[in-house]
Amino acid sequence: MVVISAMGKTTNALEAIMKSFWNGDGKTNQLIDDLNKFHQQIIAELFGDNKAAAEAEVNRIFEELKSRCAQAHGDNYNFEYDQIISLGEVISTKIVAAFLVSQNFKTAWMDARKVIRTTDRWREANIDWEKTEELVSKQINDAFNSGTQSVITQGFIGHTPEGLTTTLGREGSDFTAAILAYCLNAEDVTIWKDVPGMLNADPKYFDNTVLLEKISFREAIELAYFGASVIHPKTIQPLKKKNIPLHVKSFIDPHAKGSVIQASIDFDANIPSFIFKMNQVLISLTPKDFSFVVEENLEEIFSYLNKESIRIHLMQNSAVSFSFCVDGDKVDLKKIFDHFTGQYFVKYNEGLELVTIRHYDQPTIERVTVDKKIYLEQKSRHTARIVMKDVSVDTNN
Ligand code: ASP
Ligand code: MG
């Protein structure tokens, strides 16, 4: 069973098409032509002189998209979004399936919009597990029973009971693979990526990254929670339930070992992992009358933050203050300041980094805090978290 995502930057390009269609800025057709051209180039490279059928099929999908965009849109953005954004996966699977057939593989193309059953929560649809299990076993068994060697389907997309297309949330293709593995009681799942596997840090912020060869489902969920852009917890959960191992491997070096996420926790502590969040703001609130920060204040603070959808990355309280760290790119600092300033002295520091170290030891802490001024440090048995500022460039601190 093969699950395929959209090609290259297609999903982003479709989002641009969607916006243009919605705003009626007159650029929609040009954007559609550009995206078609991108796919036609790939088709030409793959099929050479035998490209006519795939070329026509993909042209037809883009023509349909154009005529859709030539009409007025409805009033539900998220619904229209799903109808358009889902096409990236439809196109990529059509191309790959046709190519495999041309190479004499017995391959069947399966429409995930007839198999993955969801609610109509557009853009973030929830899975109807029971119905999906029923549809999967029927359609996939039918395909394999009729001599197919591989079934190709789309990640990221599904359908409502009314047959309308839904999407599962950006980067949702891995989740589709996990859903199908769960329904089919698969032996294992492999996600093919352009990295060697799961690394212990983002190479963008860290030199000498190390491959995590074997970690537990639980550890993978923890890493994702702290912000590692590894595998989404949504993907891990169904696999964990049925104890199906998840391999992460590189399509650049397919024979290399890669990583495996599985049940055993025995290897989790072998290598420290580092997760950086940049541009953090540390806000601290002190009641103006210097009264203690107690549950009552906390309740009020949390309910405001929850109402404003502000995510706390780390928090700490003392007798007379409550401090919390948030994403500088995602919050309106002035608004937070204005809200709390009646009752609290509000202080904040901007431009900070939050590093989380799983399975830390003293040398790793020293390594990440070189040239950093530390604002706050928290340690539990397995996890150290430090809010700090880079002072190697900014000498005023
Ligand atoms: N194509 C979708 C996206 O870019 C799903 C995925 O890539 O997993 O978000
Ligand atoms: Mg993708």
Q: pLDDT-derived band of residue 384, with 50, 70 and 90 as boundaries? A: very high
**Which runs of E-coded beta strand occur in 209-269?**
214-216, 246-250, 259-262
Rounded to a whole number of angstroms, the CA Rg of the chain reads 25
Q: Which of 186, 218, 246 delimits the end of a domain?
A: 186
- Among 9, 173, 192, name the best residue to mutate to test ligand 1's pocket (greatest count of ligand atoms within 8 A of Cβ): 173
What share of the chain in percent tops pLDDT 70?
99
For the stretch 197-213, pLDDT in tens is 999 998 888 888 999 99
218 found inside a domain: no
For the stretch 267-305, pLDDT in tens is 999 999 999 999 999 999 999 998 999 999 999 999 999
Q: In Å, how far are 39, 64, 227 from 67, measured between CA atoms?
A: 19, 5, 41
Q: Whose C-alpha lies nearest to ligand 1, atom 1? A: 6
* Residue 394 pLDDT: 57
For the stretch 50-64, pLDDT in tens is 999 999 999 999 999
User: Contact at 8 Å (CB) between 217 and 235?
Assistant: no
148 found inside a domain: yes
Residue 153's H or E segment, with its range, is strand 150-154
Task: Report CA(89)–ligand 2 centroid distance (Å).
Answer: 10
Q: Rounded to whole angstroms, how far apart are CA atoms 206 and 353?
A: 13
- Among 81, 124, 168, 171, name the best residue to mutate to test ligand 1's pocket (greatest count of ligand atoms within 8 A of Cβ): 171
φ/ψ of 297, rounded to 5, equals -65, -45
- Does one domain contain both 150 and 280? no
Stronger pLDDT, 194 or 286, i.e. the higher one: 286
- Tally the domains of the chain: 2
Q: Rounded to whole angstroms, how far apart are CA atoms 179 and 333?
A: 40
Task: Report CA(88)–ligand 1 centroid distance (Å).
Answer: 9
Is residue 19's pLDDT more than 70? yes
Residue 12 CA: nearest ligand 1 atom is 4
* Residue 169 pLDDT: 94
Ligand 1 binding pocket, CB closer than 6 Å? 5-6, 11, 88, 155-156, 170-173
Q: Give the DSSP letter of residue 48.
A: G
Q: pLDDT-derived band of residue 259, with 50, 70 and 90 as boundaries? A: very high
Q: In Å, how far are 115, 142, 231, 237 from 197, measured between CA atoms?
A: 29, 34, 11, 19
* Residue 251 pLDDT: 94
211 found inside a domain: no
- Does one domain contain both 291 and 182? no
Task: Report CA(5)–ligand 1 centroid distance (Å).
Answer: 6
Give the three-state DSSP class for 372: strand
Average the pLDDT over 215-222 and give the result: 94
263 found inside a domain: no
287 found inside a domain: yes
Average the pLDDT over 374-396 and give the result: 89
For the stretch 37-54, pLDDT in tens is 999 999 999 999 999 999
Q: What is the DSSP string of 82-138?
A: HHHHTHHHHHHHHHHHHHHHHTT--EEE--GGGTSBB-S-TTSPPB-HHHHHHHHHH
Q: Whose C-alpha lies nearest to ligand 1, atom 2? A: 171
- Does one domain contain both 171 and 319? no
- Does one domain contain both 17 and 115? yes
* Residue 225 pLDDT: 87
Average the pLDDT over 163-186 and give the result: 96
203 found inside a domain: no
- Does one domain contain both 287 and 177? no
Q: Which of 89-103, 220-234, 282-296, 347-361 has the lowest mean pLDDT?
A: 220-234
Is residue 375's pLDDT more than 80? yes
CATH assignment of the domain containing 137: 3.40.1160.10
Is residue 230's pLDDT more than 80? no
Residue 174 CA: nearest ligand 1 atom is 8
Domain holding 345, by residue range, is 273-390
Q: Which long-range contacts (CB under 8 A, 24 or more apart) does 305-309 make?
A: 308/335, 308/336
φ/ψ of 51, rounded to 5, equals -85, -10
* Residue 396 pLDDT: 53
Q: Rounded to whole angstroms, how far apart are CA atoms 276 and 202?
A: 8
CATH assignment of the domain containing 297: 3.30.2130.10
Paired tokens of 349: 């520091």
Task: Report CA(172)–ligand 1 centroid distance (Å).
Answer: 6
Task: Report CA(93)–ligand 1 centroid distance (Å).
Answer: 13
- Does one domain contain both 182 and 289? no
Average pLDDT over the chain reads 95
For the beta carbon of residue 331, count every other beta carbon within 10 angstroms: 17
Torsion angle of alpha carbons 19, 23, 29, 31, nearest 10°? -30
- Does one domain contain both 283 and 385? yes
Q: Which of 186, 216, 234 delimits the end of a domain?
A: 186
Q: Rounded to whole angstroms, how far apart are CA atoms 220 and 262?
A: 9
Task: Report CA(164)–ligand 1 centroid distance (Å).
Answer: 19
Q: Rounded to whole angstroms, how far apart are CA atoms 316 and 279?
A: 19
Q: Whose C-alpha lies nearest to ligand 1, atom 7? A: 171
Q: Rounded to whole angstroms, how far apart are CA atoms 225 and 304?
A: 22
Q: Rounded to whole angstroms, how far apart are CA atoms 51 and 10?
A: 21
Instruction: Please tell me the number of the ligand nearest to residue 112's CA.
Output: 1
- Does one domain contain both 43 and 164? yes
285 found inside a domain: yes
229 found inside a domain: no
Task: Report CA(11)–ligand 1 centroid distance (Å).
Answer: 6
Paired tokens of 117: 């059953």
Residue 171 CA: nearest ligand 1 atom is 8
Task: Enumerate the H helices of 146-232 as residue ranges.
Answer: 173-184, 217-225
Q: Which of 158, 186, 214 delimits the end of a domain?
A: 186
Q: Which of 5-14, 135-144, 386-395 has the lowest mean pLDDT?
A: 386-395
- Does one domain contain both 179 and 51? yes
Q: pLDDT-derived band of residue 233, with 50, 70 and 90 as boundaries? A: confident
